[in-house]
Amino acid sequence: MSNKGTLDKNIAKYIEETNLLPKSYNDLYKKNTSVTVKVENVVKYGVFVQIQDENKGKGLLHITKFQNMYVKSIEDYLQIGDIIEDVKIIDVTQDSLAFSTLHLKLEQKYMGKTQDQTDIQEIKDRIAQRVGIISKDAEKKIEDFIKKKGIVPFVMAMGTVIDDFNYDLSIKLVEEIEKKARDYL
């Protein structure tokens, strides 16, 4: 039995020495150091990032540790794939990291683009609920109008028109088919 115990200890020592076991973040990173990170995922409460070094440590940059001001949507500032330099590690545990960019002045790069796309999709969905499938041409007209005149006038006009709109597209299609069918009678 003593040979097996010695063998197990030697194997464990070899594995540790040859770095086959992943090291804990406590061994790899220190609190209050600055690193460069890449955004891996954006969620409402922050962004998950990966340190751009050989160890590829991962953690959360919480929205409360993002800027020294109210941030409604972190997506206005960051998207997946963005690189942020000089990010501070503010907490290190064995298997997690926490980051801060409070010391940085980050600019809005994507101001409202993601929200506008969400709003436009909601508009399309509302119209589709009323009339059925929306053609690509109709989608383009919606997007062009909103781009030129803004979303507010479109939504206000839509609100007054959509409930009174009583045009049955399937009836129109059947009428067109009937007209064409006369050619074959």
136 and 90 belong to one structural domain: no
Same domain, 43 and 132: no
- Flag whether 107 is in a domain: no
Q: Could you list the residue range(s) of the whole structural domain that residue 161 is in? A: 113-182
Residue 76's Cβ-side half-sphere holds a number of Cα atoms within 13 Å equal to: 14
Top pLDDT among 20 and 79 is at 79
Q: How many domains does the chain have?
A: 2
Q: Do the domain assignments include residue 10? A: yes
* Average pLDDT rounded to a whole number, residues 82-107: 94
Residues 74 and 157 in one domain: no
Same domain, 39 and 117: no
| DSSP structural state of residue 168 | -
Residue 18: which pLDDT band, with cuts at 50, 70 and 90? low
The whole-model pTM stands at 0.52
Does 136 lie in the same domain as 89? no
Question: Average pLDDT of 158-182?
Answer: 82
Looking up residue 94, the CATH number of its domain turns out to be: 2.40.50.140
If asked whether residues 86 and 123 sit together in one domain, one would say: no
Confidence of residue 8 (pLDDT cuts 50, 70, 90): confident
Nearest to 66 by CA among 55, 57, 77: 77
105 domain-assigned: no
Residues 86 and 9 in one domain: yes
User: Any idea which of 11-15, 28-32, 72-76 has the lowest mean pLDDT?
Assistant: 11-15
108 belongs to a structural domain: no
| Contact criterion met (CB below 8 Å) for 33 and 91 | no
Residue 106 domain-assigned (yes or no): no
Q: How far is CA 40 from the centre of its chain?
A: 9
- The answer to whether position 18 is within a domain reads yes
Average confidence (pLDDT) over 25-34: 93
Sheet strands (E) in the chain: 34-43, 46-51, 58-62, 83-92, 97-100
Q: Could you tell me if residue 65 is inside a domain? A: yes
Task: Output the pLDDT for position 121.
Answer: 84
Domain's final residue, options 100, 130, 145: 100
Domain assignment present for residue 141? The answer is yes
